[in-house]
Amino acid sequence: MTYVNRVAVVTGGASGIGREVARALAANGAAVAVADINLEGAEEVAAALANDGARAEAIAVDVSQPEQADAMIASAIEAFGKVDILVHSAGVGVERSFLDTTPEEWQRILDIDLSGTFFCGQAAARHMVERGYGRIVNLASTAGVRGGTGRAAYGTAKGGVIALTKVMAVELAPYGITVNALAPGPSKPSSWRRCIRRRPARSTAPASRSTATERRRRRRRRRSSSRARRPAT
Ligand SMILES: NC(=O)c1ccc[n+]([C@@H]2O[C@H](COP(=O)([O-])OP(=O)(O)OC[C@H]3O[C@@H](n4cnc5c(N)ncnc54)[C@H](O)[C@@H]3O)[C@@H](O)[C@H]2O)c1
């Protein structure tokens, strides 16, 4: 796929999934605005893309602030003349049980992960509507579909991202704008590695490894115990 003459804004572009998306878009011809709250990181990514021959700019943004989302899109338009693509990857993860989640944590995750998606999507879409073309991709998560332990705030925010994406998709389709969400499971990038490292270590004893022989033995044991439980006829 080629993105020659396309302009993309990638939020959260300083690291992880956003950085890889920015690289892939640039490698396929797009001009890329790398937007992140971590300006230094965004500048490093943009410099590396430019070094490889792409047109790239770094933009500082806190996606939880609507005026900053507007300013981000305005800066990208100033730099490249238009915005065709928004990949909204900025986000923060937290693993905290429902009972332990504080009001501050709840609000912070919803502000960044859910409201940030709304503010950036709205800022980009207002411009795309005028041009009659746009591609928006929001990063959701499997946690937004299935919940799971420790996902009170994060899972709720990502569930909201999925619902919001569906609303955006049907409302913006008449303007030539497609809106999709990606819901990855845990992958390597930084924030989740930090979360996973904080989890209590699981036993790695050989008994937990399931070889074909062990599985056969377990099946045999289950069959004989269910025979034993069956009432005598
Ligand atoms: N990596 C995974 O396993 C995984 C799984 C499911 C969903 N996701 C989602 O994918 C997206 C990217 O995740 P990642 O693993 O690449 O994370 P990451 O931490 O590597 O990157 C997130 C980026 O967002 C930026 N950011 C954080 N708060 C911001 C704010 N307020 N304004 C602007 N930028 C901000 C960070 O500086 C960082 O560069 C997130 O939305 C995350 O929830 C990730």
Q: Residue 14: pLDDT band by 50, 70, 90 thresholds?
A: very high
Please say if the pLDDT value at position 60 is more than 60: yes
Q: Could you give the 3-state DSSP secondary structure of residue 183?
A: coil
Residue 228, pLDDT score? 40
Local confidence band at 206 (pLDDT 50, 70, 90 cut-offs): very low
Provide the pLDDT confidence category of residue 194 given band limits of 50, 70 and 90.
low
The single-letter DSSP state of residue 10 is E
Q: How far is the CA of 13 from the centre of ligand 1 (A)?
A: 9
Percent over 90 (pLDDT), the chain: 78
Identify the three-state secondary structure at position 81: coil
Residue 151 DSSP class: B
Q: What is the pLDDT of residues 99-110, one digit of tens each?
A: 999 999 999 999
**Ligand 1, atom nearest to 62 Cα:** 32
What is the model's pLDDT at position 171? 98
DSSP code string of 7-34: EEEEETTTSHHHHHHHHHHHHTT-EEEE
Q: What confidence category does residue 223 fall into, taking pLDDT thresholds of 50, 70 and 90? A: low
CA dihedral 14, 20, 21, 25 (to 10 degrees): 110
Give the length of the chain.
233
User: Distance between CA 9 and CA 57 in Å, rounded?
Assistant: 9
Mean pLDDT of 128-155: 96
> Is the pLDDT assigned to residue 218 strictly greater than 90?
no
Is residue 151's pLDDT more than 70? yes
Sign of CA dihedral 161, 164, 169, 175: negative
139 vs 196, more confident: 139
Domains of the chain and CATH, by start: 7-206 (3.40.50.720)
Give the pLDDT confidence score for residue 165 in this predicted structure: 99
Residue 98 scores a pLDDT above 80:
yes
Q: Could you tell me the two tokens for 217?
A: 């033995």
pLDDT mean across residues, the chain = 88
Q: What is the pTM of this model?
A: 0.85
- With cut-offs at 50, 70 and 90, classify the pLDDT of residue 187: confident
* Six-digit token string for 30: 């797009």
**Distance between alpha carbon 199 and the CA centroid of its chain, in Å?**
21
C-alpha 71/C-alpha 61 separation (Å) is: 8
Q: Provide the pLDDT for residue 224.
A: 56
pLDDT at position 221 is 63
Strand (E) or helix (H) holding 109:
helix 103-109
Does residue 172 carry a pLDDT above 70? yes
Of all protein residues, the one whose alpha carbon is nearest to atom 30 of ligand 1 is 62
User: Is 184 a pocket residue for ligand 1 (Cβ < 6 Å)?
Assistant: yes
* 154 labelled catalytic: yes
What one-letter code names the amino acid at 208?
S
Catalytic, out of 3, 133, 154, 175? 154
Distances, alpha carbon 177 to alpha carbons 37, 73, 86, 172, 173, in Å: 26, 16, 11, 5, 5
Residue 126 three-state SS: helix
Residue 197 has pLDDT above 70, yes or no: no
Q: Are 179 and 169 in contact (CB under 8 A)?
A: yes
* Residue with CA closest to ligand 1 atom 31: 62
